Amino acid sequence: MLEVGAGSSPAEWRVITSNTFSVQNGLLGVWATSDLPNGEYMVRLRVTAMDGQELSASQLVQVRR
């Protein structure tokens, strides 16, 4: 699941995309930023490994126009 939240420590997350299939070396999703104000956003990827373990990785990004 690919999610985004406002700021460096989001109180709420919005789902960008959610898949039930494996993605290897491919596109995970497309985040449309045209309706967002400039600022910091945290993008988070959450996955479930083959053994059932849930893992996540986050990256702070800047939206500027």
Percent of the chain with pLDDT over 90: 75
Q: What is the pLDDT of residue 38?
A: 96
Q: Which of 38, 15, 16 is nearest to 27 (CA)?
A: 16
pLDDT, the chain, mean: 93
Collect the ranges in the chain with pLDDT lower than 50: none
Specify the pTM.
0.86
Q: Tokens for 22? A: 């494996």
Q: What is the pLDDT of residue 21?
A: 82
How do residues 29-43 score in pLDDT, each as one tens digit?
999 999 999 999 999
